[in-house]
Structure 1
Amino acid sequence: MTTPSATRRFDVVVVGGGNAGISAAARLIRRGVPDVAIIEPQAVHTYRPLLSYVGGGQATLRDAERTQRSVTPESATWLRDSVTSINTDDRTVRCASGTVVGYRDLILAVGLVPDTEAMPGVDEVIDDDPAVASNYLDRAEKTWQLVSSMPRGGRAVFTVPRPPVSCTGTTLKPLFLAAAQWARTGILPTLDITLVVDRPALLDVDDLDARLFARLEELGVRVLLDTGVRVHPGERRVSATSAARTEDLQFDMLHLVPPFRGPSVVETSGLAGDQEHGLADIDPHTLRHQTHPGVWAIGDGAAIATDPSGGGLRRQVEILTDNILSARDGGTLRDYDGYTVAPITTASHRLIAAEFDRDGNLASSLPSFVDPLTPRRSAWAFDRYVLPRLYWNLILRGRV
């Protein structure tokens, strides 16, 4: 058994055991890298895209969870610990337990954490206010409770934060799924629904945004663009502030997606560079750190210069593993074009699976004669039922 002061060395160390970390580790092992460690403190692994359906009453939390042990590749070493610092000079990471872990290559798959400086009171309001929930803050079951108990004539507020956030398209799912439930129960026309968006557009893909705004208007949703949110714990209101004005919004339900940032260890270890919000400062094309060639990063906590998503992450994992192995042989590194996916439910059983690159150009995998922005029942069924099975059985095993 390892003592807290011991130093362990691995060929590749992966920081983070979510989708990015597990699938990257599994793919490297399948490519012949024999000595991989994954540092992850949580004992439960969550398929986070399914939380939208938990919040919409279409799935249970049990559907979305597995033990961390069960998803960790058998030949990988799982260190149930947290990283407190990274020393790129001697290629080591220090853990909360005191363990020091050495690496040849380091993969940061650290994800994002709520930016409590940008939104003071977020912890208090999500913990203590019975009218506030968030699929993004592990309160998906509470989201469904609030949706299903919304009173006739009630007021609902939904928020979309400034970047970075894990899949902007997913931030819109709670509203559309809630509206579908309220339409079924007949109370939708009586409700006052506001969407507060802390950015000048939704996805910044013109055709997609036009479809979404049309659907929001059809549902009677008031949209406030370029508007930040301030929470007031215990007061059942938020302040929505734009360049023009500040407006207080009272609510009976608030689905809060707060602003996020990279974990502090990235910034304090000097790996954020000049990136905003503590993201890992990588070349967004090669996924390699700009100044430390033994460090790589993927996923939500990396400066990939595109909207993060699970679909985009699958492309990143493939390119990352190729590039690590190619760099070791002095070969040419592959280019990641920023491909991403925005799976957005616009109705109870209809979904747009918009695919685009970092320049906002549509990059659909559908045949050219098929409109890629039409909400489809087949796309919803794939997102709700097929993709979770692929996730547990293939993606986390490095097979796709």
Structure 2
Amino acid sequence: MTSRSVDAHHDVLILGGGNAGVSAAARALRLGISDVAVIEPQSVHTYQPLLSYVGGGQARLRDAERTQRSVMPRSSTWIHDSVVEVDPREKVATTASGRRYGYRDLIIGTGLVPDDEALPGIAEAANSDAVASNYLGLAEKTWRLISTLSSTGVGENASRAAAVFTVPRLPVGCTGTTLKPLFLAAAHWRATGQLADIDITLVIDREGLLGVPALDSVLRRHLDDLGVRIMDRSAVTALSPETEQITVTDHRGAQQIIDYRMLHLVPPFRGQPWVELSGLSGDGRHGLVDIDPRTLQHREHHEIWAAGDGAGIDTDSSGGGLRKQIAVLVDNVLAARAGRALSSYDGYSVAPVTIDAHRLVAAEFDRTGTLTPSLPSFLDPLKARRSAWLFDRYGLPLSYWNMILRGRL
């Protein structure tokens, strides 16, 4: 089987025990694959979408967390370790402990890591007093900064507070979620009578906000209503937490220094380093697993599959899209084994964006940017609704813990 011995062999080996990995394991077991193992180093499993509400003061961190052991599907094997390399020709994954695991099919769902080459000093900035990020495990700090930000001085000596929010280039986990911190912060400042005294800047490294023209138009109207300064097609290229400044470079190369009293930093991300080391990434794809975006099968190594933020799915990543990806992926593993034609993932995604404290736009679209609403045709799919907020804040977490992670949805 291999040129070197393995410590164990599994029919399906899954890398990553987040949403993608656990839901794929559960679905595979429900469809009759009996030997499924998941390699995951963390002992705590986090429902990532709820962190936006933690950062906005509408949820507690413990609401978003469970032990990893409690969410692992029954009959699966949890390997409490982290992967450091995959040999696709030997069909072996090596972990940090040095153990080697063989597989028949490999599913990758390990997500993204901050891209320190694209933006040096991310960790140092995140540890400074005025910087937070829901994307870097600092949602409680986000709320602390939002709830304590205020202008300083009085009268002619008053100094307006500067709050800066950033959206990086792709890949990133759910672009819609990158906008939630700004809208939830603005809702709090408006409710406390501070909004007029705070300058809000949005630095967005994209051609558009979400790449869906009709949705972008709606969101820009809401941002204009809040008086947000939008810096389009501009990237954060340097961090200076000691002076509370960032350097922003636009697409023409012009640079500008921006001061802040609060910075919500969503840094640029890339795929896990071992993906590129193992020869599984595509050229110019920021280390994403090089899959066919429709079948989710690796272009070269057909026993390897991937889904989620770290996969080259050619659409905006989201939890709603991931549910459809996992259904296609696991079904295709079985189809490939049986010699049947593979089914196709259409690029469906959803952008749940809160535009104030208790209303949310839940835009659904495909990889072409075409809206694909599941609402009845007589309802405006881009209207912000309280019902959508209630479902996003309370309904989806219940579905996540009780249905999605159990392979039932």
Report the TM-score range of the alignment, normalised by the length of the smaller protein: over 0.9
CA deviations on 1:145-169 (whole Å, 9 max, x unpaired) are: 0000011321100000000000000
Alignment partners' CA distance in 1, 2:62 and 2:176: 23
Q: Is the 8 A contact 1:350 1:376 kept in 2?
A: yes
Q: How does 1:3-152 map to 2 (within 5 A)?
A: 7-127=7-127, 129-152=128-151
Q: CA deviation at 1:74?
A: 1.5
Contiguous gaps of at least 5 residues in structure 2:
152-159
**Mean Cα deviation higher: 274-283 or 24-33:** 274-283
Q: Is the 8 A contact 1:275 1:281 kept in 2?
A: no
The residue aligned with 1:220 is: 227
Letter in 1 for 2:130: A
The residue aligned with 1:307 is: 316
Q: CA deviation at 1:180?
A: 0.1
**1:392 maps to 2:396:** no
Alignment partners' CA distance in 1, 2:325 and 2:207: 27
Alignment partners' CA distance in 1, 2:175 and 2:282: 24
Q: Is the 8 A contact 2:6 2:102 kept in 1?
A: no
The 3-state SS of whatever aligns with 1:220 is coil
Q: Is the 8 A contact 1:16 1:39 kept in 2?
A: yes
Q: Is the 8 A contact 1:121 1:233 kept in 2?
A: no
Alpha carbons of structure 1 residues 275 and 287: separation in structure 2 relative to 1, 3 Å: farther
CA deviations on 1:298-323 (whole Å, 9 max, x unpaired) are: 00000000000000000001001110
Alignment partners' CA distance in 1, 2:284 and 2:39: 24
The 3-state SS of whatever aligns with 1:277 is coil
Alignment partners' CA distance in 2, 1:51 and 1:177: 12
> Which of residues 154, 160, 163 is equivalent to 1:156?
163
Alignment partners' CA distance in 2, 1:73 and 1:368: 38
The residue aligned with 2:154 is: none
Alignment partners' CA distance in 2, 1:267 and 1:118: 16
The residue aligned with 1:195 is: 202
The residue aligned with 2:337 is: 328
CA deviations on 1:6-56 (whole Å, 9 max, x unpaired) are: 510000000000000000000000001000000000000000000000000
CA deviations on 1:273-307 (whole Å, 9 max, x unpaired) are: 32410000000000000000000000000000000
The 3-state SS of whatever aligns with 2:329 is helix
Alpha carbons of structure 1 residues 275 and 23: separation in structure 2 relative to 1, 3 Å: farther
Alignment partners' CA distance in 2, 1:258 and 1:45: 22
Alignment partners' CA distance in 1, 2:319 and 2:148: 31
Query: TM-score, normalised on structure 1?
Result: 0.98
Q: Is the 8 A contact 2:173 2:309 kept in 1?
A: yes
Q: How does 1:214-363 map to 2 (within 5 A)?
A: 214-229=221-236, 230-242=238-250, 243=252, 245-363=254-372
Alignment partners' CA distance in 1, 2:198 and 2:282: 46
Q: Tell me the percent identity.
A: 59
Alignment partners' CA distance in 2, 1:275 and 1:265: 16
Q: CA deviation at 1:121?
A: 0.7
The 3-state SS of whatever aligns with 1:53 is helix
Q: How does 1:366-381 map to 2 (within 5 A)?
A: 366-381=375-390
Q: Is the 8 A contact 2:162 2:199 kept in 1?
A: yes
Alignment partners' CA distance in 1, 2:89 and 2:198: 58
Q: CA deviation at 1:233?
A: 2.9
Q: Is the 8 A contact 1:312 1:340 kept in 2?
A: yes
Q: CA deviation at 1:244?
A: 5.5
Q: Is the 8 A contact 1:164 1:261 kept in 2?
A: yes
Q: CA deviation at 1:112?
A: 0.3
Alignment partners' CA distance in 2, 1:276 and 1:319: 22
Alignment partners' CA distance in 2, 1:281 and 1:217: 38
Alignment partners' CA distance in 2, 1:302 and 1:244: 30
Q: Is the 8 A contact 1:43 1:67 kept in 2?
A: yes
- 4+ runs of 1 displaced by more than 6 Å? none
Q: Is the 8 A contact 2:359 2:384 kept in 1?
A: yes
Q: How many residues align?
A: 395
Contiguous gaps of at least 5 residues in structure 1:
none
Q: Root-mean-square deviation (CA), in Å?
A: 0.8
The 3-state SS of whatever aligns with 1:278 is coil
**1:181 maps to 2:188:** yes
Alignment partners' CA distance in 1, 2:74 and 2:331: 21
Letter in 2 for 1:38: V
Q: CA deviation at 1:246?
A: 1.4
Letter in 1 for 2:389: W
Alignment partners' CA distance in 1, 2:207 and 2:289: 25
Q: Is the 8 A contact 2:205 2:233 kept in 1?
A: yes
Letter in 2 for 1:66: R
Q: Is the 8 A contact 2:91 2:103 kept in 1?
A: yes
CA deviations on 1:89-148 (whole Å, 9 max, x unpaired) are: 111101111110000000000100000110001111101x11000000000000000000
The 3-state SS of whatever aligns with 2:292 is coil
The 3-state SS of whatever aligns with 1:248 is strand
Query: TM-score, normalised on structure 2?
Result: 0.96
Alpha carbons of structure 1 residues 189 and 281: separation in structure 2 relative to 1, 3 Å: same
Alignment partners' CA distance in 1, 2:199 and 2:98: 52
